[in-house]
Amino acid sequence: MSVLRMLLVFTFAAFWSCQSAALEQNVTAVSRDGNTLVLTTDKGQVRIRFYTTEAVEVYYQPTGVNQLDSFAINADAGNLPLKLAMVNTGHAVRFSSADLRVQIDKSPLKIRFIKDGKTLLSENAGLQIGQGQRGFSFDLQPQEKLMGTGQRVLGMNRRGFKLPLYNKASYGYTTKAEQMYYSVPAVLSSNKYLLLFDNVAKGEADLGSTEKDVLRFSAVDGRTAYLVVSGDDTPEIIENYTAVTGRQPLPPRWAFGNFASRFGYRNQQEVLDTIEKFKTSRFPVDAVILDLYWFGPDIKGHMGNLAWYKESFPDPEGMITKLDQQGVNTILITEPFILTSSKRWQEAVDAGAITPGKDGKPQTFDFYFGNTGLISIFDPKARDWFWNIYRGLKKQGVAGWWGDLGEPEVHPVDIQHPIGSGEAVHNAYGHRWAQMVYENALKDSPHERPFNMMRAGFAGTQRYGMMPWTGDVSREWGGLKPQVELSLQMSLLGLAYTHSDLGGFAGGEKFDPELYIRWLQYGVFQPVYRPHAQDHIPSEPVFHDAKTQDILRPYVNLRYRLLPYNYSLAYQNSLTGMPLMRPLFFSDEPNPALIDNAQTYYWGDAFLVTPVTAPGVTSMPVNLPAGIWFDYSNGKRIEGGRIAEIPVTLETIPVLVKAGAFIPMADDMDNTRQYDSGKLQLHYYADTTVKAANGVMYDDDGKDPNALKSGRYEKLDFNAKQNGKRMD
């Protein structure tokens, strides 16, 4: 270790000990209220609440320390009484469910979490609080690996890093990024627990960087609480975690189709011509996304207008109607910034919709798009004003929303939200915005599922139907390489619809057809199929050469033919939180080495996908789980339990299907409105090594938000059993 490195470590440790010393507490009284244990201490109160038998919240409430309500925990969670046991002795308290025990030492207060007789997690020093810092530290076990903390490009195991907890734009990132659009203060451990620091303020996660066997979460303000979730395996941990933080509602079926999107369509005729090009080029399409030009003639000076720029879009309602008649949904970009040069600035000020500064007046500041104010998203009257704009656009026929810059991209530290400063509530801004859009959309259109794509939020934002994307990735091979890692890491924390701008967004002065093809091939097996880029190189395949189109057309058609399979994955996710993209270690959790693999992943339980992320590749090494696999491109049977070299051409990527898999498929279609489950094709991958198999397919009208609750759906269960040489 260099002298400089030693000095930095000593400096941080000294800061932590001086500024955020452990708040040593002694328990003076113990009581129980249903699922909650209340510890009265000489410094305040600690509440320990079981939400499920394997999810427990610890909430420290020191006397005189302001607290915020939880943003992460769903208001409907934990309302059922649980069978719990409490044992209070002279020196300790045990508070237990059938699955998890909380062991509490009284003097000084220290808490451990025990499952099956083994310690999962133990506080290192309990609550640490001082000048400008508050948080917790925990002991780490030597061989423990840590995933999580949201969008980062670091590798799957994040232990050893010290990472900012502050949502921030990361323009043009490639193969390393420690801070990005969507941070989540949570880790998922190879020791079978998930730990969430339930705090939305600017903070830091020290994952064994300062001290190799100590995990620390800290923040400058906010809630002093954490959530511990256990389970027998990772899917069960995710299920238990999303039972508390909320599950992603079913999206509209058209969300699984192909999107036309770029930065951006500059006028009404260009939009209509683009969709016509999809039709004549025989590419299915379900949605078109309009970027900034729908409300202004150029990039700067118009943000906040949030009304059609009539010189470029003279008849928006007619355009939307014409698109709808072709089965194409219209999605508009919106942002939370109102420029002082925009047509709505004074209207927003008069409505009290702009976040004030310390002087109580609307605060303005400069950023890339102009001089601006920020919508006061935590203020009900500001949300009412903002939603009224959405409501008017919805009446014109707009089908979905794209919320951009919601970190927020620029967020002055001295800005004063109703519930706290900019730093105190920063990571909850996108979360509250997503909640506003989702809940109001359902209220206004109770028979229609909202579509809501945003790039920043917090733990639990998935319950508002938010589909995150991985931001302004560089349009180069280095931008494609980390996309699997980013989606897997977010999926492990409940955010299962995380996806990328297919083809890459930023830069790329010359079109690279191989890179473009490889990215869009991968996109078939990610949650949202949306090519998007700066428009000096078209993002839509229909504007490229015949060879590129001929390679990609079968892939886009495959995306549509897989609709019954993909829609069933969404159904499973809405019930249990099970990701659509699943890491390789799900197949063999006792093998911790598989945690590090972010090249190969499962798409559902049938497909194993390895994107090609380098030029000139003729074969790819694929770490095959045990069993028999079939190459999807040619049907070749391959023995698993090894690293197999899979040949590829420009027309193929390694996509393998598990023996015993059921894959329901549909006919080709121009858009998802033509989907007909009455013409279902069921593919079963039989092999003599598979004695029995089962699968499921879910179907409903693709629109009804209450289809599951009301029972307005169909579910097909598939079963196969080998009987001698015959399959039944």
683, pLDDT greater than 50: yes
- What confidence tens digit (pLDDT) does each residue in 124-141 have? 988 999 878 999 999 999
Q: What is the mean pLDDT of residues 267-273?
A: 98
What is the pLDDT at residue 22?
A: 85
Cβ-count burial of 116 within 10 angstroms (0-12 exposed, 13-18 middle, 19+ buried)? Answer: exposed
CA distance 191 to 217: 18
* Residue in 57, 198, 379, 407 annotated catalytic: 407
* Residue in 472, 670, 699, 704 annotated catalytic: 472
Residue 404 among the catalytic residues: yes
Mean pLDDT of the chain: 95
**0.75 exceeded by pTM:** yes
pLDDT band per the 50, 70, 90 thresholds, residue 728? low
Q: What is the mean pLDDT of residues 34-47?
A: 97
- What confidence tens digit (pLDDT) does each residue in 581-603 have? 999 999 999 999 999 999 999 99
- The answer to whether the beta carbons of residues 240 and 229 sit under 8 Å apart is yes
CA distance 656 to 146: 28
367, pLDDT greater than 60: yes
pLDDT band per the 50, 70, 90 thresholds, residue 273? very high
Residue 324 among the catalytic residues: no
- What confidence tens digit (pLDDT) does each residue in 88-123 have? 998 999 999 999 999 999 999 999 999 999 999 999
7, pLDDT greater than 80: no
Handedness of CA 50, 51, 56, 62 (dihedral sign): negative
- The answer to whether the beta carbons of residues 252 and 453 sit under 8 Å apart is no
16, pLDDT greater than 50: no
> In one letter, which amino acid is 610?
T
Judged by DSSP in three states, 540 sits in coil
- What confidence tens digit (pLDDT) does each residue in 622-677 have? 999 999 999 999 999 999 999 999 999 999 999 999 999 999 999 999 999 999 99
Query: Residue 676's closest CA among 658, 702, 654, 696?
Result: 702
19, pLDDT greater than 60: no
What is the pLDDT at residue 2?
A: 37
* Residue in 206, 404, 540, 704 annotated catalytic: 404
What is the pLDDT at residue 632?
A: 98
What is the pLDDT at residue 725?
A: 64
455, pLDDT greater than 80: yes
What is the pLDDT at residue 424?
A: 97
Q: What is the mean pLDDT of residues 455-460?
A: 98
CA distance 645 to 3: 45
CA distance 158 to 619: 29
pLDDT band per the 50, 70, 90 thresholds, residue 699? very high
Q: Tokens 């509530």 appear where?
A: 425
What is the pLDDT at residue 218?
A: 98
Q: What is the mean pLDDT of residues 517-529?
A: 98
Report the share of the chain in percent with pLDDT over 90. Answer: 94
What is the pLDDT at residue 130?
A: 86
What is the pLDDT at residue 727?
A: 57
- What confidence tens digit (pLDDT) does each residue in 132-188 have? 899 999 999 999 999 999 999 999 999 999 999 999 999 999 999 999 999 999 999
Residue 501 among the catalytic residues: no
